[in-house]
Amino acid sequence: MLSRTVQDAMNEQIMNEFHASFQYLSMAAYFESANLPGFSRWMRVQSQEEMEHALKFYDFVLDRGGNVVLGPMDGPAVEFGSPLEVFEEALAHERRVTAQINSLYSLAAGENDYASQTFLQWFVTEQVEEEKNTGDVLETLRMIGGGSEALFLLDRELGNRTDGDQPEAG
pLDDT at 55 over 50: yes
Sign (positive or negative) of CA dihedral 53, 57, 62, 67: negative
Let me know if residue 165 belongs to a domain.
no
Let me know if residue 47 belongs to a domain.
yes
105-127: pLDDT as tens digits: 999 999 999 999 999 999 999 99
Let me know if residue 163 belongs to a domain.
no
Let me know if residue 169 belongs to a domain.
no
Which tops the pLDDT comparison, 169 or 130? 130
Provide the b/e sequence for 98-108 (b: ≥16 CB within 10 Å). bebbeebbebb
CATH number at residue 141: 1.20.1260.10
**Confidence label for 11 from pLDDT (cuts 50, 70 and 90):** very high
Q: Taking the mean position of all CA atoms in its chain, how far away is CA 72?
A: 19
62-87: pLDDT as tens digits: 999 999 999 999 999 999 999 999 99
* Neighbouring C-alpha atoms within 13 Å toward the C-beta of 55: 7
The answer for residues whose C-beta is within 8 angstroms of residue 159's C-beta and 6 or more apart is: 37, 38, 39, 41, 42
Average pLDDT in the 158-162 region? Answer: 86
Distance CA 116, CA 169 (A): 33
**Confidence label for 168 from pLDDT (cuts 50, 70 and 90):** very low
Let me know if residue 100 belongs to a domain.
yes
What mean pLDDT is reported for the chain? 94
**Confidence label for 165 from pLDDT (cuts 50, 70 and 90):** low
Let me know if residue 166 belongs to a domain.
no
pLDDT at 92 over 50: yes
- Count of structural domains, the chain: 1
Which tops the pLDDT comparison, 169 or 75? 75
Average pLDDT in the 33-57 region? Answer: 97
- Which structural domain range is residue 153 located in? 4-158
Distance CA 45, CA 153 (A): 19
Distance CA 57, CA 24 (A): 19
Let me know if residue 40 belongs to a domain.
yes
Let me know if residue 91 belongs to a domain.
yes
Q: Taking the mean position of all CA atoms in its chain, how far away is CA 39?
A: 15
Distance CA 112, CA 106 (A): 10
